[in-house]
């Protein structure tokens, strides 16, 4: 067994594992997995053919996955089997060294920010959300409150804490960019203000490219403020693209109309640059592939990078039993999307920071090659 596979077989295995998840013979191998929180929850980072991706390990689907990873071999790889037959091999990124540190006041760095993918430091600055307070408003896929309730993170990461952890992550673990997301506070800026103060503090400590992620703020002047504070790229995430699916899956957030997103994208692209504004679209929630591709075409025309990822049903959320999209569904979506992006010259690799650049939650960038 070798870890080297042709690019096509590697990306095939990635899309299979991202859809089905994987059972691990040794759940403690590599960096710890995450349960709950924003971003790739219930996943674990694994490296396939040199590419680090996030693969579900704690979801109900993963427990029934036909894929299983054996115990680590002496060469540091783990054989992946489908229904018992060896089909590939994976490695596990080692536990980051900054996880062993804590702040002077005793907060473990790991509760302030975590490693995503291979080289991304990720934090949720505010671990609560105005939309998470009520069952009728919460985004059905979100688990932002779960990791807080379990004591795995803290409610509010201060600018000083973020700067301290970012410096350590760069020094000790070679982190190359940072994602700062936030729950939405009950203020009109929708989180832009706390992203500004957080980014300014990090940039004063270490020269790390940063992606900020928030809902469209009430006033477009925030885009200039975010950039001037040190945010290099901006994510404003649609999640779902058709009004019916938005209303069903994220009843609170759907109160921000799609037109506000388009206006915000149009205002943000001149500030951050073409391809430096992005949106996250979850495939498999009910939007038809044609609807996602039509939305992507419109976004690409505006210079916005549409990062389309397979939906992962996170345990403990209202959608925990919702099926993940099949690998065939994702390939049928990502192949034409990758061609569109390539033709437009809007490549993940050219993004300065953030999810598109990381690419660990979707195999989209492999379809741009």
One residue of 10, 48, 54, 168 binding ligand SF4 per CB under 6 A: 54
One residue of 30, 117, 217, 284 binding ligand SF4 per CB under 6 A: 117
One residue of 112, 196, 360, 364 binding ligand SF4 per CB under 6 A: 360
One residue of 69, 355, 364, 367 binding ligand SF4 per CB under 6 A: 355
One residue of 81, 91, 116, 227 binding ligand SF4 per CB under 6 A: 116
Look up residue 189 and give its DSSP letter: T
For 222, list phi and psi in degrees, rounded to 5.
-60, -25
> Residues 174-203: x/- map of binding to ligand SF4 (CB under 6 A)?
-----x------------------------
Give the shortest CB-118-to-ligand SF4 separation in angstroms: 9
Cα distance between residue 99 and residue 186, in whole Å: 32
Please check whether residue 47 is in contact with residue 14, taking contact to mean a CB–CB distance below 8 angstroms: no
One residue of 13, 31, 57, 120 binding ligand SF4 per CB under 6 A: 120
Strand, coil or helix: 281:
strand
By CB under 6 A, the residues from 215 to 244 that bind ligand SF4 are: none
Looking at beta carbons only, is 31 or 361 nearer to ligand SF4? Answer: 361
- With both helix axes pointing from N to C terminus, report the angle between 7-20 and 327-344 in degrees, rounded to the nearest 10: 130
Judged by CB under 6 A, which stretch of 113-121, 124-132, 242-250, 342-350 contacts ligand SF4?
113-121
**Two tokens at 267?**
């205002």
Which residues is 81 bridged to in the sheet?
68, 86
For 210, list phi and psi in degrees, rounded to 5.
-125, 135
Regarding 348 and contact with ligand SF4 (CB under 6 A), the answer is no
Cα distance between residue 132 and residue 142, in whole Å: 8
Please check whether residue 275 is in contact with residue 351, taking contact to mean a CB–CB distance below 8 angstroms: yes
Total number of residues binding ligand SF4 (CB under 6 A)?
Answer: 12
Regarding 271 and contact with ligand SF4 (CB under 6 A), the answer is no
Please check whether residue 69 is in contact with residue 55, taking contact to mean a CB–CB distance below 8 angstroms: no
Cα distance between residue 314 and residue 46, in whole Å: 18
By CB under 6 A, the residues from 22 to 51 that bind ligand SF4 are: 39-40
Q: Could you list the residues that contact ligand SF4 (CB under 6 A)?
A: 39-40, 54, 116-117, 120, 122, 179, 355, 358, 360-361
């Amino acid at each position: 067994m070798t870890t080297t596979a042709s690019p096509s077989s590697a990306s095939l295995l990635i899309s299979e594992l991202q859809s089905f998840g994987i059972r691990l013979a040794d759940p403690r191998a590599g960096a710890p997995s995450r349960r709950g929180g924003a971003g790739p929850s219930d996943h674990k980072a694994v490296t396939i053919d040199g590419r680090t991706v996030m693969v579900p390990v704690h979801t109900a689907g993963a427990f029934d996955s036909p894929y299983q990873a054996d115990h680590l071999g002496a060469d540091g790889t783990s054989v992946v089997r489908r229904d018992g037959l060896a089909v590939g091999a994976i490695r596990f990124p080692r536990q980051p060294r900054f996880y062993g540190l804590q702040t002077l006041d005793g907060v473990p760095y790991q509760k302030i920010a975590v490693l995503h993918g291979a080289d991304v430091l990720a934090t949720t600055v505010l671990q609560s959300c105005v939309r998470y307070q009520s069952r009728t408003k919460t985004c059905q896929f979100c688990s932002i409150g779960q990791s807080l309730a379990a004591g795995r993170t803290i409610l509010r990461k201060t600018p000083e804490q973020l700067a301290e952890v970012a410096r350590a992550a760069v020094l000790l673990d070679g982190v190359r960019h940072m994602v700062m997301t936030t729950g939405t506070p009950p203020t009109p800026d929708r989180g832009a203000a706390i992203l500004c103060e957080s980014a300014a503090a990090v940039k004063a400590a270490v020269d790390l490219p940063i992606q900020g992620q928030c809902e469209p703020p009430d006033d477009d002047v925030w885009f200039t403020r975010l950039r001037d504070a040190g945010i290099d790229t901006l994510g404003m995430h649609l999640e779902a693209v058709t009004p019916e699916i938005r209303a069903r899956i994220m009843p609170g957030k759907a109160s921000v109309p799609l037109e506000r997103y388009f206006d915000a994208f149009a205002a943000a692209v001149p500030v951050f640059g073409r391809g430096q504004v992005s949106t996250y679209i979850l495939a498999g929630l009910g939007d038809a592939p044609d609807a996602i591709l039509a939305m992507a075409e419109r976004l690409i025309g505006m210079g916005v990078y549409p990062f389309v990822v397979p939906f992962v049903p996170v345990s403990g959320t209202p959608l925990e039993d919702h099926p993940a999209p099949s690998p065939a569904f994702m390939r049928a979506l990502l192949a034409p999307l990758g061609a569109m992006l390539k033709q437009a010259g809007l490549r993940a690799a050219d993004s300065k920071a953030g999810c598109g650049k990381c690419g660990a939650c979707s195999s989209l960038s492999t379809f741009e090659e």
